[in-house]
Structure 1
């Protein structure tokens, strides 16, 4: 495959803007040596394949983009709770395509003119990353009067900083006239709160692919267990699966830390994972969605999904209808836990 051949011989470069408002020397760089790859990501196989296929089609799409009259640029929105793998996925995309990466910190950009100067310096075959798009800059300058008249409590509590770059300034580069300043570029936005991102910024044609990164599903957990503990199966796998189905799912970062800390003892590592999931359920702190349906409760652990399309389609994203129906899910979980975690001597794993 062409991408793999190039990866073997080309070193990637990581650029970041220096914040000195220098139009000619706006970027500083270091070699990019992040080890993340799709082979090491704890993602569901279908999601991995969807992303990799999309990246490959984009990389090989020069003739197509020219034929249909579109700038050879593609936008990704990665959203999810902290520790869900947004940075790891971005690094995997960089290594898969062998592109350079530009980490653009908008809070260091003085105005739209400097933003434009920085972006036109980016090279072809590159990925431009803007993290925490909803907090890094105020992208609703044309609607500031609404915010001043009706301040948002959520916005105040988030700790977001008012920026100096406007929404129109960023849109001009994502799909305006300046979007043609170079070819074969991917823009990646990340956020914890998808609902806080202006819909004008993430509609089709600007952010073409929306990837929801959540807690680990069972396949992703088994993948992590294989990587960290070198095990394909364990007596507590059924307990982990029941925990996930009952809303006790953990992010890849949370599971990875437990497994890393106890990598010398598989049994202890698995018991600690189960205990952490149990605390999540008891404390009600899981990142889950609960929907009441008459006398039934649908509990869905937000596993990672890919959504293509504009914000009006978000509510029908994959996984929305994939929950398990259970009456009193916590009671079910603990009954299941009791039956599955008794050792031969009658002791329970806690």
Structure 2
């Protein structure tokens, strides 16, 4: 009881001294007390204020990194018992987030050492404002060895959390010198794409290697960028593959429309505005501008001289992809697409500009099975074997065409697969054989037969584009010709 009385007396004396002594003297006494504590304690303490300097103007990035890191730490490794947390929400539609409440602590471990974070919040004298900061407690004997590596680990984790949690966007050059954007929410992933398994594995490995290649690209002295050239017929999945790449890497997408760029200087300006961790896309590069074979045309060169600088040139696009300006910003992918590879100038496709060439063609057996399983499910082994037999005989369908057949019959798997098999069967010689065509030469003419064969040959190579009513026209023509053939055979035999 006597000890308690003495403590109350001491507290009363401290209160009186605090009201009597000048603020400068109290601050000095407080500093001396902290110095005495630092001298006898086995720990080192480091303060990380919310703002730099005495005014609350310049925010401290390290404070924000600690805040994000501790938030992530609480999600992955909730302590027991949990500390007091502060809940907050930026909008009614967003889920609440939580942070360490003021004047509470949280333990962490690094390199076998136990660390302690404490969130402080002090009211300023004669002010309603608060001074917030984090303090880090480290073992004094090892503080110099682990402080910088630990802060580097903390900042790296915070940056990754910022990238993965932010809303990604897709940009377009709506004006000659600036971008506009909307949220990017394309659902395509490598798991939903109809891709050859070997191609899928290669692309995933290549993208992951690129994303983790900061030190490698620095060591070899190359800009941290990579070019992908996607080519194939319409509907083969080029745009969906770009969306899957962006979703896999958590990158933004810049969809560059070259026809809206007036000259090379505007192209450079747009490039400088792109951010790291992004994909720059130029679709249908062969149609965007008259770039193919530009260096070989004297007339084109004369036209360029007449137009002056009011045009994006092949040279400007080459500098965009592989020149000095291409190193502005890091961790970027540049993707070109085209339906016709032969129409693109070879200067754009050499290694260093387009590093990976991906050919997307007709839907194969494995890809078709994946799509059937994903769209309608069920076991349709017998019908799928028939479908694959038609494909081996030359029937060609792109992933978009297969998806359309399955989509309009998604409620009935049997009808969907039967229609898919029938569609493939109808693409084999228009529903008939070349032997029957030989019998029609006298009636329809050899030229028409040769044209039909050429169309089928192109279809087998995945280069012909089928019109919507083409199959039905072929079936009607087949039935008509088959009737004529039957009558002529009957006449020959005297029936």
Tell whether the structures are fold-level matches, with TM greater than 0.5: yes
User: Larger Rg: 1 or 2?
Assistant: 2
1:247 aligns with 2:394: yes
**231 and 256 in structure 1: CA distance in 2 versus 1, 3 angstrom threshold:** same
Task: Pick which of 258-267 and 135-144 moved more.
Answer: 135-144
Flag the structure with more relative contact order, 1 or 2, with Cα contacts below 8 A and sequence separation at least 6.
Answer: 1
3-state SS of paired residue (1:63): helix
Partners of 2:354 and 2:457 in 1: how far apart? Answer: 25
TM-score w.r.t. length of structure 2: 0.53
Please name the residue that 1:102 is paired with: 254
Question: 2:395, 2:460 within 8 Å by CA — same for their partners in 1?
Answer: no
3-state SS of paired residue (2:254): strand
1:76 aligns with 2:228: yes
Question: 1:287, 1:301 within 8 Å by CA — same for their partners in 2?
Answer: no
1:118 aligns with 2:274: no
* CA offset digits 1:29-64 (Å, max 9, x no partner): 000000000010000111101001000000000111
Partners of 2:253 and 2:278 in 1: how far apart? Answer: 6
**66 and 193 in structure 1: CA distance in 2 versus 1, 3 angstrom threshold:** same
Partners of 1:118 and 1:148 in 2: how far apart? Answer: 25
Of 177, 181, 186, 1:34 maps to: 186
Extract unaligned runs of 5+ from structure 2: 1-156, 303-309, 431-451, 464-495
Question: 2:224, 2:327 within 8 Å by CA — same for their partners in 1?
Answer: yes
3-state SS of paired residue (2:229): strand
Question: 1:228, 1:260 within 8 Å by CA — same for their partners in 2?
Answer: yes
Deviation at 1:286, TM superposition (A): 10
Please name the residue that 1:219 is paired with: 366
Of 168, 177, 188, 2:324 maps to: 177
Partners of 2:331 and 2:350 in 1: how far apart? Answer: 20
Please name the residue that 2:171 is paired with: 15
* CA offset digits 1:165-215 (Å, max 9, x no partner): 111101112111111101000000000000111110011110000111111
**94 and 38 in structure 1: CA distance in 2 versus 1, 3 angstrom threshold:** same
Question: 1:138, 1:165 within 8 Å by CA — same for their partners in 2?
Answer: no
RMSD: 2.7
Extract unaligned runs of 5+ from structure 1: 150-162, 291-298, 304-350
TM-score w.r.t. length of structure 1: 0.73
Question: 2:232, 2:361 within 8 Å by CA — same for their partners in 1?
Answer: yes
Question: 2:396, 2:460 within 8 Å by CA — same for their partners in 1?
Answer: no
Please name the residue that 1:145 is paired with: 298
Of 419, 422, 441, 1:272 maps to: 419
Partners of 1:18 and 1:58 in 2: how far apart? Answer: 30
